[in-house]
Amino acid sequence: MVGAFMEELELLLKQVYGTSLDPNLSQDIIQKIEQSKAGFPRYQAWSEQDVILITYGDSVLSNELMPIQSLHQFLREYLSGLVSSVHILPFFPFSSDDGFSVIDYYQVNYSLGDWTDVAKLNQDFELMFDLVMNHCSRQSLWFNDFVNGSGEGQDYFVESDPTLDYSAVTRPRTSPLIVDVYTRQGLKHVWATFSDDQIDLNFANPKVLLAFVDIFLFYLKHGARFIRLDAVAFVWKILGTNCIHLPQTHAIVKLLRWVMEQLDPNMVLITETNVPHQENISYFGEGDEAHMVYQFALPPLLLHALNRGNGHYLTAWARDLVALPKGCNYFNFVASHDGIGVRAVEQIIPKHEIADLAESVHNFGGFVSMKSNGDGTQNPYELNISLFDALQGTRTGSDQWQVERFLCSQKLLLSLQGIPGIYIHSLTATENDQSLVEQTGRTRSINRHRWDRQDFEKLLAQEHSSQALVFQRYRDLLALRKTIAAFHPEAAQRVYDCGDALFVLQRGDAPRTADDGAKRNGLLAVFNLTKYPQQVEHYAQLPQAYQAECEDLLSDEKVILAEYKLKPYQVLWLVPD
């Protein structure tokens, strides 16, 4: 068996290192896998029961409890049985970027808790961890080794000549790509794709890859069923190319999936690549790279549709989604700790409409982050705003439909093929945190509020607060969704064009008998994207089962689509009656 492993592994490693492959590398990786096999939990295959909550370790704070303990207590009380997994955003010691500039990959940030707290959370929820691969903190021991010219990390970083031409390199930020470092050997220059505190690691050095295989296995051993590869698209550099999505990068993703599947085929590798849609889904490979990719086109498309009351681009994009390779799926999200990236829709939504959306974000108290192009120009990269506040109105301004518009966005998230990832601040209807932006000087902080649990529960007790209007209704939605087999991640999806005011989605197969309908193996979801009542256009194209009388699972109403008018932002989850 080890011989077969070795052969498979060496083929993968040759895709990364070619003929220069160190023959000892595959043996070292096999040894690490064998040492890690004992004591792993066995996971179930994904299903409609899977819903992932995205949160920082300190998103909910309580007196006398460490933040991870407080978060655990809050989730156990309010979301037990409603979400299956928790993505704790980087909870390691860090120096910047709210955790994504990692100092020590093996430790829990002492201000959040310790590995015991993580293990206790894992008793009630499955977990997702971040593997921040492209870079580490300049305060890390590895970078300290580089500065001193000795130790494990002395050759872990990408040195560069600042006089060379880097104009072809894809840039996600406006900060300088090459930064100066004063070392014991004199002045050196290193790559820093994201910031001068986040120094890029050199995966052309096999020791770096081996170090990250070790970290990867450590996270799996400590309860991570899901591993999110942060900013993985940039990990391989070849000057003269765009240094993104290079073949060696895809080979590394493939390698990590192979390592994971030696331990449990129901563990899940997720790539986080905020790039145009076709580039993003390239990380499925041929069904042998990521199990899931972040659905980056969804947040801006959905926000654009609700901002304009027009789902033309959302419908066209969703209808064109390609069939997924076996064993692969989408990680759907509409809000996260980052802003709403617009790179994924650069080839879908016209530039002037993206500019209009950015203007609405400014009007609703948000910010727009920019990226540098090779020609010296800049384009919008990310909209920084709480999703709840981004949906306080449309391009014509604020109105009274904020809660219904927001819940419409969440029901759409819960309906799509894949596994939904819900940001905690969507559940809690969190508004823009301008004071945190002033405190940190970072626009992304606007959507990274830290709730005091007592303050949140006081708002929850106020009948007309945003939290009271959203939180319990959201919990009811999650409870209902778990009962609907049509929301299995692998259930078929078909999108219909029933007019720009609506988004119409079929999940599962159309029922052929009353019993089929009762099992909820097939469902038609209809979304009114506008603040006006709407009827379904072209309903004759829908399967016969949905043209007859149906039951709306959200309202328990009987509905005949030909005669029905949806209220503003109303959503129907229809099964044949």
- DSSP states of 90-133: --S-BSSGGGTSBS-TTS--TTT--HHHHHHHHHHSEEEEEEE-
Residue 549 has pLDDT above 90, yes or no: yes
Q: How far is CA 201 from CA 146, 205, 232, 246, 484, in A?
A: 11, 9, 11, 15, 44
Residue 380 has pLDDT above 80, yes or no: yes
CB atoms within 10 A of CB 181: 18
Encoding tokens for residue 332? 């759907």
Residue 202 has pLDDT above 50, yes or no: yes
What pLDDT sits at residue 232?
97
Distinct helix (H) and strand (E) counts, the chain: 19, 27
CB atoms within 10 A of CB 315: 23
How confident is the model over 364-388, as a mean pLDDT? Answer: 86
Annotated binding residues: 97, 135, 228-230, 337-338, 444
Contact 22/64 with Cβ under 8 angstroms?
Answer: no
Tell me how far apart the alpha carbons of residues 356 and 134 are, in angstroms, rounded to a whole number.
33
Encoding tokens for residue 446? 């606007």
Tell me how far apart the alpha carbons of residues 238 and 241 are, in angstroms, rounded to a whole number.
6
Grade residue 89 by pLDDT with cuts at 50, 70 and 90. Answer: very high
Decide: residue 151, CB within 10 A, 0-12 exposed, 13-18 middle, 19+ buried. Answer: middle
What pLDDT sits at residue 322?
87
**What amino acid positions are annotated as catalytic residues?**
230
For residue range 286-325, what is the model confidence (pLDDT) as tens digits? 999 999 999 999 999 999 999 999 999 999 999 999 899 9
Class for the domain spanning 135-200: alpha beta
Query: Where in the chain are all domains bearing CATH 2.60.40.1180?
Result: 492-576
Encoding tokens for residue 154? 């002395």
User: What share of the chain in percent tops pLDDT 70?
Assistant: 97
Contact 392/402 with Cβ under 8 angstroms?
Answer: yes
Q: What is the DSSP letter of 487?
A: G
* CATH number belonging to domain 492-576: 2.60.40.1180
How confident is the model over 481-499, as a mean pLDDT? Answer: 97
By DSSP bridging, strand 292-294 and strand 178-183 are unpaired
Closest by CA to 236, choosing from 302, 174, 287, 170, is 170
- Tell me the β-bridge partners of 31: none
Identify the three-state secondary structure at position 251: helix
Encoding tokens for residue 503? 């988004």
What pLDDT sits at residue 512?
63
Residue 375 has pLDDT above 80, yes or no: no
Grade residue 1 by pLDDT with cuts at 50, 70 and 90. Answer: very low
Residue 5 has pLDDT above 80, yes or no: no
Tell me how far apart the alpha carbons of residues 220 and 369 are, in angstroms, rounded to a whole number.
34
Residue 340 has pLDDT above 90, yes or no: yes
The chain-wide mean pLDDT, for the chain, equals: 94
How confident is the model over 372-397, as a mean pLDDT? Answer: 88
DSSP string, 125-194: SEEEEEEE-SEEETTSHHHHHHHHT-STTTT-B-B--TTS--TTS--SSSS-SEEEEEETTEEEEEE-SS
Kindly report the pTM of this predicted structure: 0.95
Residue type, 434: Q
What pLDDT sits at residue 285?
96
How confident is the model over 203-208, as a mean pLDDT? Answer: 96
By DSSP bridging, strand 397-398 and strand 558-559 are unpaired
For residue range 15-57, what is the model confidence (pLDDT) as tens digits? 999 988 888 899 999 999 998 887 777 899 999 999 999 999 9
Annotated binding residues for substrate: 97, 135, 228-230, 337-338, 444
Grade residue 519 by pLDDT with cuts at 50, 70 and 90. Answer: low
What pLDDT sits at residue 483?
97
Query: Where in the chain are all domains bearing CATH 3.90.400.10?
Result: 135-200
Residue type, 365: G
Residue 514 has pLDDT above 60, yes or no: no
Decide: residue 459, CB within 10 A, 0-12 exposed, 13-18 middle, 19+ buried. Answer: middle
- Tokens 């220069």 belong to residue: 20
What pLDDT sits at residue 509?
84
